[in-house]
Structure 1
């Protein structure tokens, strides 16, 4: 007896879709800062400032991709795509991570080419543009802080803005060093530091995306504990073929074969067991989209290849 029992009667809204307005606000702020920093980099001759502008431009592209993916993910499911297009958000996060890695490589390559031939930098313009960038990044962090735990794309945007803030601080530090000591190479060194700050964030985002694509159990989910809760339901004898995965951020999915006593397979008995199972998964593990296959004890001999 198969049964898809869910109080939501469908897939929940995606994490990115819930916070679209926040992302639009951050996108507008980021594009404005990119323009300021590019102009500042041209006027000051600062590679670090240009690197930070390039990084922020990649962030703007990432947020744009996330917004586009959220719109695509909202399209209804069909017979060919029974979960709709919700995985588009995960693919957008993958593209975002790869873009970050490319940006880091380009920055390092340009910085190495500049070593030994660092041109003079106008620190007044450099510091002004970097300070404006730092303030804008702080505002963006405040906008995204409450939403970054609910979506890979929002988290990616949050981490990118955090990296931008650190990048702006590095540019400010380099400008102060040049202003105080005349050590022009500080600008090149700062650009390399910005590149190295990008890589770990890209790696963590890429790792989370791979976990979703490989349908790993969501972080924080204890399969052993879920099994214990299911076995504690009256009428349940055993459980097998447990699968827990994530369609996209904020949309975990659960399925299992549940062996029950014969009298639990009556209409009223099955409803009672299913209601308890769904309530358990929803309240204890924040998983509303659950699919249970109820099986009588006598059917166990037909389940030769059981999984966890």
Structure 2
């Protein structure tokens, strides 16, 4: 029997955690400062679009703060019962960001519809000036965060907040110009609806992606069924079961499997071959494999309690093509 554990954690991103913190902190200072100004102007102008933008900027600030906390915690080494350390704190942060966006979007849709029915007086000039200023501030903040490591869902969540706010300010500036030139007050509520739609889109994406990691689903780019069949096609491999592919955190996929090989073959050599295939073809540099010799009776014994699909080679003694058996979802071995 051969057991192996292959791993490597080079994500290929030049920006360090310290650099990420500086970039995020700079964006946070810009966002908080402008948000305070926008709240004051929003109430003075009677603009829901500006108040919506300000609330969105508050979620931006919260997203960045959570990202900074997550970066610090995820850098802590594994200890005690936390065998992966605190890497999934960033996924908690991403999920919180996504849920916040969805809740705020629902609220602002409600408010915007009310204002479409009963439009209040809106001071277009103030809305236009503030919207243009917001575009400038968010352009700089977006540029700062775009230089950070966006392969992290945590940082990507903060980036999506800022980017959506940039689009929101563009809509707000246009609404202010329309109100100023035509007196059409409902343009402000329409801009708020556009902002809410952008928030919904970003929120759904973050909740979906972070949810896949929490549920330990395979990365979207990897099909476990196809991977199992590919491993069974390797010369000497008789069966693959307990095959699990999941993400420890964003950008850190992992895999584990129990491999049965034909008697008389070198388990260690086949394990090295499989680890090389996983790393080079699928980016699975963190893998844990158990490789055993198999006889016909041993195959049946192993299959009796396999977790997930069982893959068998078409050359397995007395066996047909790959078979599937019901099992349990990955447990993150």
Give the TM bin, normalised by the shorter chain. Answer: 0.7 to 0.9
- Equivalent pair of 2:141/2:162 in contact (CA under 8 Å): yes
For 2:144, the equivalent position in structure 1 comes to 143
Per the normalisation by structure 1, the TM-score is 0.87
Moved more, 250-259 or 100-109: 100-109
Match of 2:192 in 1: 191
Give a deviation string over 1:144-172, Cα, whole Å, max 9, x none.
44657512222222222221122111111
Contact residue 278 and residue 284 of structure 2 kept, 8 A: yes
More helix by share: 1
Superposed counterparts of 1:173-188, under 5 Å = 173-188=174-189
Structure 1 pair 41/293, CA: closer, same or farther in 2 (3 Å)?
same
Confirm or deny: 8 A CA contact 2:132 2:173 kept in the other structure.
Answer: yes
Whether 1:132 and 2:133 are equivalent positions in the alignment is yes
Query: Aligned equivalents of 1:157 and 1:143: distance in 2?
Result: 11
- SS at structure 1 position matched to 2:220: coil
CA distance in 2, matches of 1:252, 1:98: 24
Quick one: higher RCO (CA 8 Å, sep 6+), 1 or 2? 1
| 1:52-67 correspondence to structure 2 within 5 Å | 52-67=53-68
**Do 2:267 and 2:293's aligned partners in 1 also have CA atoms closer than 8 Å?**
no
Contact 2:130 2:173 in 1 (8 A): no
Structure 1 unaligned segments of length 5 or more: list them. Answer: none
2:172 corresponds to: 171
Please give the root-mean-square deviation of Cα atoms over the aligned residues, in Å. Answer: 2.6
- 1:168-223 deviations in Å (ceiling 9; x for gaps): 11111111111111122322232233223211221121111221111111011132
- Aligned match of 1:278: 275
Which deviates the most, 243-252 or 83-92? 83-92
- 1:187-266 equivalences under 5 Å are 187-264=188-265
Q: Give the whole-Å Cα distance in 2 for the aligned partners of 1:285 and 1:116.
A: 54
Q: TM-score, normalised by structure 2?
A: 0.81
Q: In terms of mean alpha carbon deviation, does 143-152 or 247-256 score higher? A: 143-152
Is the 1:29–1:140 contact (alpha carbons within 8 Å) kept by the matching residues of 2?
yes
What is the rounded CA distance, in whole Å, between the counterparts of 2:283 and 2:22 in structure 1? 25
Contact 1:229 1:280 in 2 (8 A): no
Which of 185-194 and 106-115 deviates more? 106-115
CA change 1:242–1:226 in 2 (3 A) is same
Please give the residue correspondences for 1:22-61 in structure 2 after superposition, counting only pairs within 5 Å: 22-61=23-62
Alpha-carbon contact 1:148-1:158 (below 8 Å) kept: no
The 1-side partners of 2:178 and 2:164 are apart by 21
Q: CA deviation digits over 1:58-96, x for unaligned, max 9?
A: 111012112212222222223412112212111111111
**1:295 match:** 292
Count the aligned residue pairs.
302
